[in-house]
Chain A
Amino acid sequence: MTKKLDIKDHNTLFQAEKYQKQAEGKRVFEAACSVQEVEDTVELLKTEEYKEKNFNREAAVINPAKACQPLGAVLAALGFEGTLPFVHGSQGCVAYFRSHFARHFKEPVPAVSSSMTEDGAVFGGMRNLIEGLENSTALYKPKMIAVSTTCMAEVIGDDLSAFIENARIEGAIDQEFPVPFANTPSFVGSHITGYDSMMRSILAYLSEKNGDLSYKIPSEKVNIITGFDTYTGNFSELKRILELMDVDYTFLGDHSDNLDSPANGEYNYYYGGTKLDDVAQAHNANGTLLLQKYSTKKVTKYINKKWKQDTIAVSSPLGIKNTDQLLKNIKELTGKDIPQVLKDERGRVVDALADSHPYLHGKRVAMTGDPDLLLGLISFCLEVGIEPVHIVCTNGDKNFAEEAEALLKTSPYGMEGKVHIGKDLWHMRSLLLTEPVDFAIGGTHMKYCAKDAEIPLVRVGFPIFDRHHMHRYPIIGYQGTLNLLTLIVNTILQQLDDEAPAHSFDAVR
């Protein structure tokens, strides 16, 4: 064995005297404020008075719990066979999206940019787009390119439709090569809006171009659209349920293979995804089931209007009631029965909920996330006696707030719940410090205010950078309910152990 080097990591390195002294010296040099002043400010930030100021804040958003439109558009694009997400604008944006997804999924993420620069900003981005399309088809050999836009392209008013047409005329891409596009400025909406726009655009493009919407071939198929769902485990869980029910289905947008590819020694750019030809036939289906509604508003409208198809849109099916509703919806759409396997599974999960409920009863929780996820989480919490107290939804709208409030009102455990739309994690911090709760549910970004409030964070949602593989396990369906339950109850039990005096540090809980 080679000799082990003693290399300190950053947790320990700066504890060394040398660096401590250096930091002291730096403080003097920088004329930093006094320790007392820092402490006073920390105390002030915990007060009701500061909370009021904080909630009157208009000019700044501090730690928003949302991402921007093109990020959602990239995820939507990754759901289709051989599709390269192409973001028209400056290239920094794309680098962010890629690292964001890579950090969450621990996977490489193919996405390209038209890399606009100063001259593009002045003279318009057409040249960049045309060259970009030419180069990326040659380099990455996609079957389709899905173009979305950054703020910059939107501000200078680039006309994507005309630019793509010009690219065909110039021969940069084939006449028939599919290039759906969506306008996705970051200054409007959030990642769920971008997902919606891009998805609508891809469905419209492929079904109108390659299919014939004027007549339907009756079919038993059902279309499934998951919405902005970052749990690859949810896809396999959903497929398992559909297969157990013997349903003939088509996923419209399935990014689970692209973001969970096998490590077999050779990387391809494209894995799985919805077949482009399947999208052309999708309007023939018996109906479309959408598993998020706030991220699929435009898509739903389009399917109703253009495909003249029935749609059922529900919020994330978390918990028993929501999963029951999901199965009922599938049954109604397809006429298929619910098999015994699923009924047994339900019984087992109900059993698990009963086993754990004494530790969950009356626990107060704060949560952040996307609207549909939050509705699912609230419903789950109310089922086991957890009390949602602070619900912060940066990208939630009025409809969401009304729906969430109505849901909270259905249970005595929701009475204390307050829904804050358009608020950020700094608001959340004030809430946590003035009205304490027992634990928090949210993505990684919530860990800072959770730490300040000295409560544990159960990581659910997007992004999750600091825990591994969470996205590989479903949170929807009965199985997902079990996973969610396990995650939450074990966090509570860990907390119990951490806080237990020696004599109550019990083996059996």
Chain B
Amino acid sequence: MEAMQEPACEHSMNNNNHKGCAKPKPGEAAGGCSFDGAQITLLPIADVAHLVHGPIACGGNSWEGRGSLSSGSSLHRYGLTTNLNEQQIIFGGEKQLRDAIRGIVDRFSPPAIFVYSTCITALIGVDLDAICRSETEKLGISIIPVNSPGFVGSKSLGNRLAGEALLDYVIGTALPPSESKWDINLIGEYNIAGEIWDIKELLAQVGINILSKITGDGRFNEVRWAHRTKLNMVVCSRALINMARKMEERYDIPYFEGSFYGAKETTASLQTIARLLNDKELIDRVQAFTNQEEKKLDQELENYRKKLRGKRAVLYTGGVKSWSIISALQELGIDVVGVGTNKSTNEDIARIRERIGKDAKLIESGGAKKILQTFRKEKGDILIAGGRNMYVALKEHIPFIDINQERHHAYAGYKGLKKLAEQLVNSLENPVWQIVKLQPPWKER
């Protein structure tokens, strides 16, 4: 309930009579559930065990579905579930859960276990908190309940509930081995295709240190000492804004929302970090570094820009990406002629407007069909969206780039913009588009 009243979110029940996080509409092709959202947020923590308490499908279907990469431990990639059957559902499944927890500790001895509730265990009334508390006492490692069963709402709500679990059980329980004056946390960056590695390298070049990665390529301990940071940067705004706000409340840590997609946004983010850390030396360093990087990138992008200038793109993705990718595309000379806003906040939408003006079409909802309509009407050249819309686009002979979790290319930072340009050019130039559009010779005109 508390998560539904998040004051930093304009959907909150406290703001303008909103009803809290939007509920999924029945009969509409919808995104993931809250369970999925909670997993998305927590799974990137690589050295802990993620145990799904429920029937096989919740764990089984989501297993390995995200491209959150780890540079070391791969425990998070084990699909651990209690795999409840009919009997166990009738009698409560508590024993299975306790056995599973102990089995995991024996086999993997992880620093912690996240235990996810699912629709079924929530319905039959498993007291997850109590079981986790007693197992924590017995086993001496953190067993953390994640109460985000699928039926409570959308994926975004799940992200937020996972954030609550981190705030309640993890953050503030340890101290870092060392601290520096330029420590920041990244919140809501999940290391898709290894993006956090590029960001880390980028920040290191001006001397900024990531104290805690929440949660891309994250480790349990670094999340525990996240409260010792000087600044929180929220990379995916909608998902974990509650976490940043509460950390400000509890620990007096300032936060801002930013992005690393495109050179302009990257530069702006670096400048904001320097400004908020309020250090003259850092501000100067950032200034020199961003000037140099942008100049270098300009040269490298010259050829790509020639090919991409004036191409028309339709963008359909969620949250922060709905505006930050726009900047990246514009920097490459692409006209963004349509933007999906299904998963964007009002603030996101305002930012979209700032970037593309009033003429571009906003696609509020309606799924694939609406996207394609806009694409045709606006005479688009390329669609940039997630995997679920990819095959529809291809069916309709539309060049496509995957921007969501299944992609294999990291687009963050100055380097990332070059990669994005390369992927755009590849996709647009592949001769398969001639073949799919080729009229068979027997076709009467």
Give me the interface of A with B, judged by CB distance under 8 Å.
320-321, 324-325, 327-328, 331, 338, 343, 346, 350-351, 353-355, 357-358, 361-362, 382-385, 411-413, 502-504, 506-509
Contacts and interface: CB of A to CB of B under 8 A. Distances in A.
Contact of B432 (A331, A343, A383, A508): A383
B426 A362 contact: yes
A377 to B, nearest CB: 15
Nearest to A507: B64
Interface stretch (B104-112, B257-265, B436-444): B436-444
Interface stretch (B67-75, B271-279, B372-380): B67-75
Interface string B405-426: 0101000000000000000001
A328 B442 contact: yes
Contacts of A350: 435-436
Contact of B435 (A321, A355, A361): A321
A327 B432 contact: no
B440 A343 contact: yes
A343 B439 CA distance: 11
B137 to A, nearest CB: 34
A357 B430 contact: yes
B387 A508 contact: yes
Contacts of A327: 440, 442
Query: What's the interface size class on B, roughly?
Result: 20 to 34
B442 A411 contact: no
B395 A351 contact: yes
A232 B208 CA distance: 65
B435 A503 contact: no
B78 interface: no
Nearest to A496: B408
11 contacts: A324-B441, A324-B442, A328-B442, A351-B394, A383-B435, A412-B431, A503-B70, A504-B194, A506-B67, A507-B63, A508-B65
Given A385-B430, A385-B432, A503-B69, A354 B397 contact: yes
A289 B31 CA distance: 53
B169 interface: no
Interface of B: 63-65, 67, 69-71, 74, 194, 387, 391, 394-395, 397, 406, 408, 426-427, 430-432, 434-436, 438, 440-442
A47 B374 CA distance: 55
Contacts of A355: 391, 394
Contacts of B70: 503
The interface residues of chain A, by DSSP majority, are classed as helix
Nearest to B70: A503
Given A331-B442, A504-B408, A320 B71 contact: no
A27 B121 CA distance: 69
A354 B430 CA distance: 10
A362 B436 CA distance: 18
Contacts of A503: 69-71, 74, 194
Contacts of B438: 320-321, 324
Contacts of B387: 508
User: Across chains A and B, which 9 residue pairs bring their CB atoms closest together, nearest first?
Assistant: A507-B64, A354-B394, A357-B432, A503-B69, A328-B441, A383-B435, A385-B430, A324-B440, A508-B406
Contacts of B442: 324, 327-328, 331, 338
A413 B431 contact: yes
A411 B432 CA distance: 12
A357 B431 CA distance: 9
B312 to A, nearest CB: 20
Contacts of A413: 431
B391 A353 contact: no
Nearest to A502: B74
Contacts of A507: 63-65
Contact of A353 (B64, B435, B441): B435
B432 A506 contact: no
Given A343-B440, A383-B435, A503-B71, A361 B406 contact: no
A413 B432 CA distance: 11
B431 A383 contact: yes
A354 B432 contact: yes
Contacts of B440: 324, 327-328, 338, 343, 346
Given A320-B435, A353-B435, A354-B432, A506 B64 contact: yes
Query: Which of A325, A346, A384, A506 is the most central at the interface, judged by chain B CB atoms within 10 Å of its CB?
Result: A506
A387 to B, nearest CB: 10
A178 to B, nearest CB: 40
A385 B74 CA distance: 35
Nearest to A328: B441
Query: Which of A331, A343, A362, A503 is the most central at the interface, judged by chain B CB atoms within 10 Å of its CB?
Result: A503
Given A383-B434, A384-B430, A504-B408, 19 more contacts: A324-B440, A324-B441, A350-B435, A350-B436, A353-B435, A354-B397, A357-B430, A357-B432, A358-B426, A358-B430, A382-B431, A383-B431, A384-B431, A413-B431, A503-B71, A504-B69, A507-B63, A508-B387, A508-B406
